Structure 1
Amino acid sequence: MDWNQQAVRSAEQYLSIQGFSCSGLIRQLSSDAGDGYTQAQARYGAQRTSACQ
């Protein structure tokens, strides 16, 4: 499984539900309450969305 691509999908899903800043999205993706991605995976996913543009 490509965890980076999964992180991108998760990031896009979060953004479709609610607005996030880039750093907020990274925190959500990497938190235990969120998806538990590593910091690197969360950063990769978030940076490929509109939140980090």
Structure 2
Amino acid sequence: MSENLPAIDGARPRWRGLVTTVMLVLISVMIVRDILIRRWTGSPPSPPDTTQQSR
């Protein structure tokens, strides 16, 4: 089974680690951007979506 492994064994985990890091950074940037935009716009929070309960 070890015959099927690629010759460059260290490149693949490094590539996957880089992709994971980039994805985490992008998600973090989007979350921070969303928080800052909501804080700086100063718009009042939207009212909660409530429905009338049937009696």
Q: TM-score band, normalised by the shorter chain? A: 0.3 to 0.5
More helix by share: 1
Compare relative contact order (CA 8 Å, sep 6+) and give the higher one, 1 or 2: 1
Higher Rg of the two aligned structures: 2
